[in-house]
Amino acid sequence: MLEDPSEPAFVRELLQAGVDDEVSDYDYRVGLAKHVAIIAAGTMLPLWAKSVISASSASSGVSAKVIAFVIGLPVATAAVVASLLISTGNTEGPPSQSPKAVTEHVSKSSSLAEPKKVKPITIAPAVSHAKAERPGAVAQQPETRALRGANQKPREGQPAPFSPLKAISEAKASASEELLSSEPEESEFISGRTSSRQPRGERSTLNQPVLSRVLEKRDFPQQRKTVQQESKPVTISAFQRETRMLAAANRLLESDPERALELAEKGEREFPNSMFTEERRHVLILALINLSRVDEAKQLAGPYLLDYPQSPFAQRVRHALAKAQREK
Amino acid sequence: MTDFPRDALITAGADSTLSEGEHLDSAELFRRFAPFVASFLLRMGVERADLEDVLQEVFLVAHRNGGYSPGPAKPTTYLANIAFRAATTHRRKNQTRSFVYPNQEIVANAPDVLQNPENKTEHAQRLRLLQKALDALDDDKRTVFILAELYGETVVSIAAGLGIQVDTAYSRLRAARRLFRAAARELYEEEKKNSFLADYNGVKRD
């Protein structure tokens, strides 16, 4: 419009005034310093901005989910098929079966397979290590090796035909690699054990805290230690482990304060003076209060409230202590 | 008057020094585009007295958004999207609260040794009319119009920055031009009448 001679002169004049205008009475250097200070102070976002941030993060989250679904679906399907084949024990099929024959075979075997045999797909990485130690659990592995060996050696003198079993075993291998890089659930911290012993459906019907205590009396603490030692370098970073432990402890405060206390103490030992210390110590104090060990809680709360007087957790600790003392 | 190094500032439409694929954090965005955002906020109707607060909000949000990442939107249109929301929210808030603002006209016409007073008055007068004409547009059209007509942004970049379809941006721009032209004509007629009356009254007094 500005450079269009057909536009009226007054329109172009107004636009030209807008183009020429500068905010010259603002000190941008001071503004920049203020901006840096605002960021350093961790100033909260204005309310209107939350929609901007959440919209952008939601859209990226959705796209990430779509990508994960698109990539994960074929891998997961291949892994399901492979595990079904293995679980039915029919692993000696010819390596050069046609895709159609394999499909028929899979559909036939899937109808015969028990539902719980599909479980290996959902096994956490640490569990797979644990299972390998148990004699019953490794029974499938030689079969898998035999399957791979058969697929890796095509008949001599012939071009390597399409080998669906090989493709499946490769997919399974990549799927298990993916699982190895995944993280254990918080429920492992909550129950204090891995999820390999019982199927998920069965576990959900039981009283979780009681179960965890019963299981701990058996050989589970030792096994848990082994699993954690093995899985630590492979699976999760210390940061993730710490946050998960803390989240589990926080969640167990009401239902199983004993376990929450144990997790908080363990966190204090493993991650002293980390960025979650403030939150973890408050969980520890609350757990003590919930266990009616109010005197101990008061002893710890004193220095805690001095260290973090303005913390939102401090407020929670004060309330809990006051309530406990009233009840006492 | 600021002593900020003007050479370091890139005004809208002149970001050719931005190397391809360059990620800009919020401090860098501020360094380069704060004048653009400040000017854009004023054109969007933010009061001069509130400019600093709204400007800081815009760059705070840009910081939380992770700064500018290269894409179809240019840094200017990326910031304009945030500034647009900041300005509309700010204006809406001001509709429900009453603040005492300085008379912008008096402030703008205050003596300034650096500028010719006559030119400055004329410029301030045109800016006032421009602001009035822009007030005739709704926020969506106003944003597209300001970016396209005052800062020379391409419609594709505007659409990418605001997260709207290119066709929608074109449609808004067309409608905004029509409305702006009509509003400007009306204001011009009114001003002409007022100045005639002023002259006439002056002549009568003489």
Task: Please indicate, yes or no, whether residues A304 and A287 belong to a single structural domain of this protein.
Answer: yes
* Lowest mean per-residue pLDDT among A27-36, A160-169, B39-48: A160-169
Task: Please indicate, yes or no, whether residues A21 and A130 belong to a single structural domain of this protein.
Answer: no
Percent above pLDDT 70 for chain B = 72
Task: Please indicate, yes or no, whether residues A22 and A118 belong to a single structural domain of this protein.
Answer: no
pLDDT tens-digit readout, B95-139: 665 555 556 656 565 555 456 666 777 788 888 888 889 998 999
Residue whose token pair is 């084949």: A85
Which chain A positions have a beta carbon within 8 Å of B133's beta carbon? 14
Do B57 and B93 contact (CB within 8 A), yes or no? no
Q: What's the confidence (pLDDT) of residue B71? A: 82
Environment class of residue A145 by beta-carbon count within 10 Å: exposed (0-12), middle (13-18) or buried (19+)? Answer: exposed
C-alpha neighbours within 13 Å on the C-beta side of residue A223: 22
> Contact B85/A8, CB-based, under 8 Å?
no
Q: Which residues pair with A1 in a beta bridge?
A: none
CA distance A249 to A115: 33
> Contact B60/A45, CB-based, under 8 Å?
yes
Residues found in chain B:
206
Task: Please indicate, yes or no, whether residues A235 and A252 belong to a single structural domain of this protein.
Answer: yes
CA distance B54 to B44: 12
For A98-109, b/e burial (b = at least 16 CB within 10 A) is eeeebeebbeeb
| Chain B interface, best mutation among A12, A52, A60, by max B CB count within 10 A | A52
> Which residue in the set B60, B149, B185 is minimally distant from A8, CB to CB?
B185
Residues found in chain A:
328
> Contact B2/A49, CB-based, under 8 Å?
no
> Which residue in the set A20, A23, A39 is minimally distant from B38, CB to CB?
A23
Query: What domain range includes position A30?
Result: 1-43
Do B113 and B1 contact (CB within 8 A), yes or no? no
Task: Please indicate, yes or no, whether residues A208 and A274 belong to a single structural domain of this protein.
Answer: yes
Task: Please indicate, yes or no, whether residues A22 and A74 belong to a single structural domain of this protein.
Answer: no
Residue A140 has pLDDT above 60, yes or no: no
- ipTM of this complex > 0.85? no
CA distance B90 to B99: 12
pLDDT tens-digit readout, B157-166: 999 988 899 9
Q: What's the confidence (pLDDT) of residue A141? A: 45
Task: Please indicate, yes or no, whether residues A221 and A282 belong to a single structural domain of this protein.
Answer: yes
Residue whose token pair is 């995944």: A182
- List Cβ neighbours of A140 (8 Å cut-off, separation of 6 or more): A86, A87, A120
Domain boundary among the residues A146, A164, A182 is at A182
Task: Please indicate, yes or no, whether residues A319 and A296 belong to a single structural domain of this protein.
Answer: yes
The two structure tokens encoding residue A212: 């965890």
Q: How many CB pairs under 8 A join A and B?
A: 124
Looking at the structure of chain A, the number of domains it has is 3
Q: What's the confidence (pLDDT) of residue A106? A: 43
pLDDT tens-digit readout, B195-205: 666 666 666 66
Interface list for chain A against chain B, based on CB atoms closer than 8 Å: 1-2, 7-8, 10-11, 13-29, 31-32, 34-36, 38-39, 43, 45-46, 48-49, 51-53, 56
Which chain A positions have a beta carbon within 8 Å of B151's beta carbon? 19
Task: Please indicate, yes or no, whether residues A166 and A292 belong to a single structural domain of this protein.
Answer: no
> Which residue in the set A8, A11, A35 is minimally distant from B27, CB to CB?
A35
Environment class of residue B195 by beta-carbon count within 10 Å: exposed (0-12), middle (13-18) or buried (19+)? Answer: exposed
C-alpha neighbours within 13 Å on the C-beta side of residue B88: 14
Task: Please indicate, yes or no, whether residues A310 and A320 belong to a single structural domain of this protein.
Answer: yes
Domain boundary among the residues A155, A182, A209 is at A182
Q: What's the confidence (pLDDT) of residue A31? A: 86
> Mean pLDDT across the stretch A59-73?
55
Domain boundary among the residues A157, A182, A207 is at A182
Task: Please indicate, yes or no, whether residues A76 and A38 belong to a single structural domain of this protein.
Answer: no
Task: Please indicate, yes or no, whether residues A246 and A191 belong to a single structural domain of this protein.
Answer: yes
